Structure 1
Amino acid sequence: MPDEQKKLFLLDANVIIHAHDYYYHMDRVPEFWRWLEFHAENGSIRMPLETIDEVQGGDKAQHASWAKSREIRDILVLQEEFDANLLNRVLDHGYGPDLNEIEIDKVGKDPFLVAYGLRDPDNRVVVSNEVPKPTARRKNRKVPNVCADMGVRCCNVYSLLHELDFRTDWRDHV
C-alpha cells in the first residue's frame, strides 16, 4: 500500500488576523504562533503568496509584521505558481461567469486560495474563518461555499486546531 500523502492546510488571511485580534494575541499566547511556525516548517500549513499579502494591520500590528517577516514568509508561503486554468474555473463556477472588474475586486484573493486547494483536493484543506452563506451570489460568495461547489474541503481554525492537535504544551507531544 502506498504511503498516504500528508494533508496540507492552506490558510486564509483571516485565520492570522482573527487569531491575533480575538483569541490568540501574540503577547498572550505565543505558543500558538510557534505552533503555526512548527507546522509551516514541517509542511502541514502554508499560505499562498496572494493570501499572505492580505494580512494587514499597519506597521505596528504584530501579526502583520510576523507574516511579512522574511523568516516566516520563507517557511509559510506556498512555493507554487498559481494555475490560471484552475483560477478561472474557480471564478467561473465558484463565483459566476463573466465577473466585472468591481466584482473581481470584491472577491479579492479568495479565488487563489480555493484554486490552490483545487490543485489537489484529496490532500489539501482550505482553512477560513468565513461563515458559510449559501444564499450569497457572485461577488458575495464565501470561501466555504465556493470550496464546497468546487469539491475542496474547507474548515475553520477550530477544526485545524483539532486536526493538528494544538495545545499550549504542544511541544511535549511532538
Structure 2
Amino acid sequence: MSAAPFLLDSNVFIEAHRRYYNARICPGFWKALRHFLGTPSVLSIDKVRDELVEGKDDLSKWITRSLAPASFVSSGQAAVLNRYAEIQKWAVAQNRFTAAALRDFADAEKADAWLIAYALENGSTLVTHEGNDPKLNKRVLIPVVCRAFGVPVKDTFDMLHELKVLFDWNP
C-alpha cells in the first residue's frame, strides 16, 4: 500500500455515483468509502465536501447522511494557504492558461487548487479522474499541476487496489 494517504477529489465521488459504482449496483464501494474516509489512509478536504453537498441529489444526500463533516479535513491551515498561493503563482507564470481558466482555478470556493496545496503540504497522493493533457489551456488540470510540484496522482481503481478493497458478488 502507498505510504502516503490518499486524498480524494470530488470527481472520485461524482464519477462513481453517476457511472461505474452507482450505489444500486455497487454498494460495496460506498461501504468502503465510509470505512476508509477520515482514517489515516484516505482523506478529503472540506472544500470537496462543500462541492458534493451543494448538488442536492442522491450523492449529496448520501454524503450528508453517511459521512460526518469531520470525515473531511480542514483546508484552512496556514501552511496549506501558503502552498495554495505558491500554486496560484505557478499557474499564472505558465503563460499558457486562458484568463478564464486561471480565474476558475483561483476561485477559493472550488476544491482543485486546495486539494493540490493540501497534498503538497501533507505528502498525500491525490486521487482524481481528471485527464492529464499538458497542452490544454482552457482549464488548469489537477494532474498537470501535481506533476509540476511532484505530487503523486492515482485514480480510484489504483487506490482501491492498494487498499485491497474487494467487491464480492454472491448469487
Would you say 1:78 and 2:73 are equivalent positions? yes
- Match of 2:72, as an amino acid? V
**In the superposition, relative to structure 1, how do residues 149 and 21 fare at CA in structure 2: closer, same or farther (>3 Å)?**
same
Would you say 1:164 and 2:163 are equivalent positions? yes
Unaligned 5+ residue runs, structure 1? Answer: 170-174
> Match of 1:172?
none
> Match of 1:68?
64
Q: Deviations over 1:18-77 (max 9, x none)?
A: 001001111221111010111125331111101221125743x221112233x5034520
Tell me the TM-score normalized by structure 2: 0.81
Q: Deviations over 1:142-174 (max 9, x none)?
A: 1111101011111111111111122114xxxxx
> Match of 1:113?
115
> Match of 1:142?
141
The within-5 A match list for 1:5-84 is 6-55=3-52, 58-59=55-56, 61-69=57-65, 72-79=67-74, 81-82=76-77, 83-84=80-81
Would you say 1:130 and 2:130 are equivalent positions? yes
**Aligned 8 A contact 1:26 1:33 in 2:** yes
Aligned-partner SS, 1:149: helix
Aligned-partner SS, 1:131: coil
Tell me the TM-score normalized by structure 1: 0.79
Deviation at 1:79, TM superposition (A): 4.0
Unaligned 5+ residue runs, structure 2? Answer: none
**In the superposition, relative to structure 1, how do residues 72 and 64 fare at CA in structure 2: closer, same or farther (>3 Å)?**
same
| Alpha-carbon separation, structure 1, partners of 2:21 and 2:167 | 11
Aligned residues: 159
| Alpha-carbon separation, structure 2, partners of 1:105 and 1:45 | 29
**Aligned 8 A contact 1:133 1:141 in 2:** no
**Aligned 8 A contact 2:92 2:102 in 1:** no
Structure 2 counterpart of 1:89, from 82, 86, 90: 86
| Alpha-carbon separation, structure 1, partners of 2:31 and 2:38 | 10
Q: CA RMSD in A?
A: 2.5
